[in-house]
């Protein structure tokens, strides 16, 4: 039900928590204001310009569902956060603005500016909860420092996360100040020149971005989570939860996922530890804000990458899924077709760009952010840094994924490859798993490999030896 504001109205500023269920910030807003809450979302052009069209469309759908669940009473406005929050606070006479705290460098800066503008008008920004099971900055080692490796972090995380509970949805009387709902459109995109004419992902269909759809996915995944340990590595099957876009926008909280998926078997335990990786990367970015764009390990950051015309051409071939390596091409084309890519293949494609094409990991990370619907700055940049060997808990650089062996091991029937690389549909295994191309594939239209695995492996190790002779051995 909608009511006019009164002196006790609170503002609930939704950001990465586009849900009503298990939302402690909303519960706190409702408690503080006797149920009178003005819900706000500010469409921020800066964030839209850097994201993918698909991610923005998914967010628009999430906002539509959120608004529906609020009986159409969401104050959905476009503009700068400071102006829009202050405007609504003044319009409803609120003294408090409740938010789920955010921890990325951009969000921290924005929230400082909003808090200070609110203070000037006698109101306050109240931060409750976080998009994580354990908020960044909480888990520390015995010396009181953030963990540098995942193993230690996970042990503490497991003990802290074993007791989590979820919250009931509060009864709220929504306060709406009227005005047209802002549209979520992608403004002029901000893109680096090396993207060239590469066409970005525009999936024909996207998953429904509603709380109900997320809860359904949890239920469905819970029935197969015992098999997660093995199934999560097979890109041809639906062995993972596909919850990442929902987590990205807080349509579901990881607490709700942990509450719905049993941790009493090996699969469930492995799954929970993936949720812990998400918390870990958020913690690493929070405690090392420079790692958004710079190598976490400065020495590894000096590894030589190429930026010349050949590198740009190779990068663009990679973006199109035209490297001549079937598993790499399938992954890159899955990204274009769905705005999502399987984790195993994210690792293989990222490794190929860095270690076979010698391109700076940041170029690839940016391409992923501009194409993924789950694009998340902490998980993405640190997923890339993990592969590049520049990050925390880094995979040793000298372990170079062989894309053909990866295909033989994780897509032995070629089902995944054939789904996304139609040129190879008529080619039998094992040929369809290997880089051959052109006439070697009986005149089929598949591209010949743009580089040779062995040659580039030696080159990657030589570059490693330049900065770290002992590691390249
Ligand atoms: C190069 C690279 C880039 C990545 N970029 C992103 C990104 O932008 N956004 C993103 O959410 N994930 C990213 N990941 C992590 C992982 O690939 C995705 O979270 C996963 O594929 C999402 O599918 P799912 O929901 O079915 O995962 P599940 O296997 O069902 O896992 C459940 C949840 O755990 C979390 N998770 C799983 N694996 C990881 C991981 N390695 N690191 C951090 N969190 C994890 C995710 O929130 C995921 O939704 C990246 C990984 C790599 C190697």
Give 244 Cα–ligand 1 centroid separation in angstroms. 6
| Residue nearest atom 22 in ligand 1 by C-alpha distance | 244
- pLDDT at 444 (0 to 100): 65
**267 and 333 both lie in a single domain:** no
Report if residue 311 sits inside a domain: yes
Look at the block and give the residue holding tokens 């951009």. Answer: 106
Torsion of CA 140, 245, 255, 46, to 10 degrees: 60
CA distance 230 to 223: 15
Report if residue 171 sits inside a domain: no
- Which residue segment(s) compose the domain that 327 sits in? 300-467
Give 342 Cα–ligand 1 centroid separation in angstroms. 8
Chain-centre distance of CA 120, in angstroms?
A: 35
By DSSP bridging, strand 36-43 and strand 173-174 are: parallel
CA distance 325 to 342: 17
CA distance 187 to 220: 36
Q: How many domains does the chain have?
A: 3
Report if residue 179 sits inside a domain: no
Give 83 Cα–ligand 1 centroid separation in angstroms. 34
**276 and 398 both lie in a single domain:** no
How confident is the prediction along the chain (473 residues), in pLDDT tens digits per residue?
A: 445 555 589 999 999 999 999 999 999 999 999 999 999 999 988 888 888 889 999 999 999 999 999 999 999 999 999 999 999 999 999 999 999 999 999 999 999 999 999 999 999 999 999 999 999 999 999 999 999 899 999 999 999 998 889 999 999 999 999 988 998 887 777 899 999 999 999 899 999 999 999 999 999 999 999 999 999 999 999 999 999 999 999 999 999 999 999 999 999 999 999 999 999 999 999 999 999 999 998 888 899 999 999 999 999 999 999 999 999 999 999 999 999 999 999 999 999 999 999 999 999 999 999 999 999 999 999 999 999 999 886 567 778 999 999 999 999 999 999 999 999 998 999 999 999 865 555 556 899 999 999 999 999 999 999 987 565 54
Ligand 1, closest atom to CA 244? 49
String of DSSP letters for 294-335: S-SSTTGGGS--B-SHHHHHHHHHHHHT-SS-HHHHHHHHHH
Give yes or no for residue 217 CB within 6 A of ligand 1: no
Return the exposure string of 390-415: e unless at least 16 CB atoms fall within 10 Å of the residue's CB, then b: bbbbbbebbebbbbbebbbebbeebe
Give yes or no for residue 247 CB within 6 A of ligand 1: yes
Give 301 Cα–ligand 1 centroid separation in angstroms. 23
* CATH code of 367's domain: 1.10.579.10
Give yes or no for residue 347 CB within 6 A of ligand 1: yes
Burial (CB count within 10 angstroms: exposed 0-12, middle 13-18, buried 19+), residue 125? buried
**What is the C-alpha end-to-end distance of the chain, expressed in Å?**
68
**149 and 107 both lie in a single domain:** no
Give me Rg for the CA atoms of the chain.
23
Pocket-testing residue among 242, 248, 278, 373, ligand 1, by greatest number of atoms within 8 A of Cβ? 278
Given 264, 287, 310, which residue is the final one in a domain?
A: 287
Give 173 Cα–ligand 1 centroid separation in angstroms. 36
- pLDDT at 1 (0 to 100): 41
pTM: 0.96
């Amino acid at each position: 039900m909608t009511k006019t504001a009164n002196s006790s109205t609170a503002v609930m500023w939704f950001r990465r928590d586009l849900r009503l269920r298990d939302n402690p910030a909303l519960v706190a807003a409702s408690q503080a204001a006797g149920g009178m809450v003005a819900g706000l979302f500010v469409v921020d052009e800066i964030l839209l310009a850097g994201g993918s069209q698909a991610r923005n469309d998914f967010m628009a759908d999430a906002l539509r569902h959120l608004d529906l669940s609020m009986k159409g009473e969401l104050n959905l406005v476009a503009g700068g956060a400071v102006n829009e929050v202050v405007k609504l606070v003044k319009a409803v006479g609120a003294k408090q603005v409740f938010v789920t705290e955010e921890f990325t460098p951009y969000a921290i800066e924005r929230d400082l500016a909003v808090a200070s503008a609110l203070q000037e008008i006698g109101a306050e920004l109240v931060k409750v909860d976080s998009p994580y099971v354990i908020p960044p900055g909480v888990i520390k080692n015995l010396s009181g420092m953030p963990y540098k490796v995942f193993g230690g972090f996970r042990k503490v995380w497991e003990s802290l996360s074993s007791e989590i509970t979820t919250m009931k949805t509060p009864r709220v009387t929504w306060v709406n100040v009227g005005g047209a709902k802002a549209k979520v459109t992608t403004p002029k995109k901000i893109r680096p020149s090396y993207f060239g004419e590469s066409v970005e992902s525009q999936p024909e269909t996207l998953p429904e971005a509603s709380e109900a759809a997320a809860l359904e996915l949890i239920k469905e995944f819970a029935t197969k989570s015992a098999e997660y340990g093995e199934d999560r590595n097979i890109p041809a099957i639906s062995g993972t939860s596909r919850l990442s876009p929902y987590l990205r926008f807080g349509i579901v909280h990881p607490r709700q996922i942990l509450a719905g998926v049993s941790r009493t078997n090996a699969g469930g335990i492995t799954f929970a530890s993936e949720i812990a990786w998400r918390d870990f990367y958020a913690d690493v970015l929070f405690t090392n804000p420079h790692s958004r764009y710079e190598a976490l390990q400065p020495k590894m950051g000096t590894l030589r990458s190429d930026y010349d015309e050949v590198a740009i051409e190779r990068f663009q071939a990679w973006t199109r899924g035209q490297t001549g390596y079937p598993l790499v091409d399938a992954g890159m084309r899955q990204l274009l077709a769905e705005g999502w890519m399987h984790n195993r293949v994210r690792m293989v494609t990222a490794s190929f760009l860095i270690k076979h094409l010698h391109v700076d990991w940041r170029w690839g990370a940016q391409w992923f952010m501009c194409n993924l619907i789950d694009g998340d700055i902490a998980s993405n940049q640190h997923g890339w840094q993990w592969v590049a060997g520049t990050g925390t808990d880094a995979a040793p650089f000298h372990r170079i994924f062989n894309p053909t062996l990866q295909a033989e091991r994780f897509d032995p029937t070629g089902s995944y490859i054939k789904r996304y690389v139609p040129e190879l549909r008529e080619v039998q295994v094992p040929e369809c798993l290997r880089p051959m191309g052109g006439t070697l594939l009986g005149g089929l239209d598949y591209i010949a490999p743009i580089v040779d695995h062995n040659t580039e492996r030696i080159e990657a190790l030589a570059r490693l030896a330049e900065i770290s002779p002992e590691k390249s051995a």
